[in-house]
Amino acid sequence: MKASIKLVAGNANRPLAEAISSYLEIPLGACQVKRFADMEIFVEILENVRGEDVFVVQPTSFPANDHLMELLIIIDALRRSSARRITAVLPYFGYARQDRRAAGRTPISAKLVANMITHAGADRILTVDLHAGQIQGFFDIPTDNLFAAPVMVRDIKERLELGNLMVISPDVGGVVRARALAKRIDAPLAIVDKRRERPGESEVMNIIGNVEGRTCILVDDIVDSGGTLCNAAEALLAHGARDVYAYCTHGVLSGGAVARIASSQLKEMVITDSILPTEAVKVARNIRTITIAPLLGEAIGRTASESSVSSLFD
């Protein structure tokens, strides 16, 4: 079955695609993605894909619009080249935070992007830790939402003393995600409740749970500015926590986020390689990257052989 898989990658995260290729022992398909002088994207598939099961590895991370257009054009090129099935592998699904109308006259961009990928010709979606689970329903094609939790649990068990751990949700909205990780390592759960008493006043961090003397692990799906996690770390230490770590799936880390985290009281932040790490991330004193290539590789192999993907997380 492996011989019938074709793996194609855009420019968004080539090292991750190569790691998946190595895991599956399948060479990356020959695909040329280049730009004209006006930055218009051109794609050419340089090998036969007729009747093949093709997986396109392309997170829609910064610059999100460029990488999204690359994905759409690659899918269109494959469809017109008579690929039997096209699976869009999105380690990070950009626009996921625009999953509802937060105010009047605003879009639901996550649904728009889902429509675009579907209409381009994708037959199914493989992604990791969607910001909101209901985004699966935005796609009118089969969608597998993988979880990075098993990769994080393995890393936690290898590096930290389990008996004194406490898992922390940095906000009320992330409780389900934090509880799932806490259950896997048999650790108690606490919640950071942040609120602004009056406009213009700084946020007050209340800790729901006793963290005194504990090694705390903040868990989140996306770290962007890093402000919430840094503030939460300060609040936890002020309430008697011994050390604070953070485990996040998607290291967006825009603007001055890396400098903010490097100067924070976080002992270490661990992110996955769902988004290509920048040089600043690679040299940061307290940011470490773990790979999800085996997770994605296994899911791709199971999808190709029509085996269960959900059993990866049992």
Q: Of 63, 67, 138, whose CA–CA distance to 96 is shortest?
A: 138
Q: Which residues contact 51 (CB under 8 A, 6 or more apart)?
A: 82, 83, 84
Does the annotation flag 38 for ligand binding?
Answer: yes
What is the CATH architecture assignment of 2-146+293-313? 3-Layer(aba) Sandwich (3.40)
Region 210-228 average pLDDT: 96
The residues annotated as belonging to the active site are 194
Region 175-190 average pLDDT: 96
Does the annotation flag 221 for ligand binding?
Answer: no
Does the annotation flag 226 for ligand binding?
Answer: yes
The mean pLDDT of the chain is 94
Domain with CATH 3.40.50.2020 in the chain: 2-146+293-313, 149-290
Q: Confidence class of residue 233 from pLDDT cuts 50, 70 and 90?
A: very high
Does the annotation flag 98 for ligand binding?
Answer: yes
Q: What is the pLDDT of residues 119-158, one digit of tens each?
A: 999 999 999 999 998 999 999 999 999 999 999 999 999 9
Q: Which residues contact 181 (CB under 8 A, 6 or more apart)?
A: 149, 152, 153, 167, 217, 219, 247
Residue 3 has pLDDT above 80, yes or no: no
Q: Of 119, 94, 67, whose CA–CA distance to 222 is shortest?
A: 94
Q: Which residues pair with 145 in a beta bridge?
A: 127
Q: Which residues contact 200 (CB under 8 A, 6 or more apart)?
A: none
Does the annotation flag 273 for ligand binding?
Answer: no
Does the annotation flag 224 for ligand binding?
Answer: yes
Does the annotation flag 196 for ligand binding?
Answer: yes
CATH number of 149-290: 3.40.50.2020
Q: Where are the alpha helices (DSSP H) in 25-63?
A: none
User: What are 139's two structure tokens?
Assistant: 């796609």
Does the pTM surpass 0.75? The reply is yes
Say which DSSP state 104 is in.
Answer: T
pLDDT confidence of residue 200: 53
Q: Confidence class of residue 1 from pLDDT cuts 50, 70 and 90?
A: very low
Q: What percent of the chain has pLDDT over 90?
A: 91
Q: What percent of the chain has pLDDT over 70?
A: 96
Residue 301 has pLDDT above 80, yes or no: yes
Region 23-41 average pLDDT: 95
pLDDT confidence of residue 2: 47
Q: What is the pLDDT of residues 56-95, one digit of tens each?
A: 999 999 999 999 999 999 999 999 999 999 999 999 999 9
Residue 276 has pLDDT above 80, yes or no: yes
Spatial contact of 265 and 236, defined as CB atoms under 8 Å apart = no
Does the annotation flag 227 for ligand binding?
Answer: yes
Q: Confidence class of residue 197 from pLDDT cuts 50, 70 and 90?
A: low
pLDDT confidence of residue 195: 73
Q: Which residues pair with 53 in a beta bridge?
A: 5, 85
